[in-house]
């Protein structure tokens, strides 16, 4: 954010994060922002100064240094491409669907669709109103990606509503349960063999390049 040519306070950075990178990466707390700014300043990657405005309490603003630009540019250009980390609480509850019931699971998915649709609308609104600054061309692209991502997530969730019925039909074939009503496996430990198969297939693919 500091590479876009403005001095920012911690609150400024927090607000900017919420309506931009917060859609696809991270929406930090105010305390986290200020903690990181102080750390960056101690490393000489940003500098700060206190400013006073008429009728407004004095505030500290931060600007990036040449060393800071070099550091963030090096990371942006050369850091390894990481696999995105997905923490999907609704899908985790689907995974534990045997502890619930199909209709309740559908209610959770429907609520998830509403939440994601709200995010989609917000991202679209921010995208639509961020065209005045030519320097924001790439941030706008990330907002457009966010809109498309949320659209895809909604589509996946809607498909999941039908898939729940298929899963419920499959689960109905469970024949044995324990005293607490939990399903007993047909083949105890079968998950271990699945793990072995996946490991062997992965090793084969690496060896053959396929």
Tens of pLDDT along 84-128? 999 999 999 999 999 999 999 999 999 999 999 999 999 999 999
Global pTM reads 0.85
Query: What per-residue confidence (pLDDT) applies to 190?
Result: 80
Contact present, 28 and 17 (Cβ < 8 Å): yes
The rounded distance, in Å, linking the Cα atoms of 12 and 97 is: 42
pLDDT of residue 167: 96
**Cα separation, 210 vs 46, whole angstroms:** 46
pLDDT at residue 55, rounded to an integer: 66
Residue 1 near residue 26 (C-beta atoms within 8 A): no
What are the counts of helices (DSSP H) followed by strands (DSSP E) for the chain?
7, 2
Query: Quick check: 56 pLDDT over 80?
Result: no
Which of 119-147 are b and which e, b meaning 16 or more Cβ less than 10 Å from the residue's Cβ? bbebbbebbeebeeeeeeeebbebbeebb
Over residues 119-170, the pLDDT tens digits come to 999 999 999 999 999 999 999 999 999 999 999 999 999 999 999 999 999 9
Res 53 pLDDT > 80: no
- With a cut of 90, say whether residue 189 has pLDDT above it: no
Contact 64, 46 (CB under 8 A): yes
DSSP 142-177: HHHHHHHHHHHHHHHHHHHHHHHHHHHHHHTT---B
**pLDDT at residue 36, rounded to an integer:** 96
Closest C-alpha among 170, 196, 16, 35 to residue 98: 170
**Is 53 within 8 Å of 153 (Cβ atoms)?**
no
């Amino acid at each position: 954010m500091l590479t876009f040519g403005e001095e920012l306070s911690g609150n400024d950075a927090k607000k900017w994060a919420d309506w931009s990178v917060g859609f696809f990466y991270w929406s930090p707390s105010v305390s986290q922002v200020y903690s990181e700014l102080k750390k960056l300043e101690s490393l000489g990657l940003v500098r700060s100064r206190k400013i006073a405005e008429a009728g407004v309490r004095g505030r500290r603003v931060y600007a990036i240094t040449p060393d800071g630009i070099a550091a963030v540019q090096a990371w942006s250009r050369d850091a390894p491409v990481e696999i995105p980390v997905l923490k999907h609480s609704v899908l985790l509850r689907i995974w534990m669907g045997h502890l619930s019931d199909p209709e309740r699971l559908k209610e959770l998915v429907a609520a998830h669709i509403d939440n994601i649709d709200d995010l989609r609308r917000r991202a679209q609104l921010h995208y639509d109103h961020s065209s005045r600054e030519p320097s924001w061309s790439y941030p706008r692209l990330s907002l457009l990606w966010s809109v498309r991502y949320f659209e895809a997530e909604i589509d996946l969730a809607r498909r999941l509503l039908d898939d729940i019925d298929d899963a419920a039909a499959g689960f109905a074939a469970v024949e044995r349960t324990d005293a607490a009503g939990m399903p007993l496996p047909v083949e105890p430990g079968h998950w271990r063999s699945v793990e072995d198969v996946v490991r062997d297939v992965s090793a084969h693919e690496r060896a053959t390049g396929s």
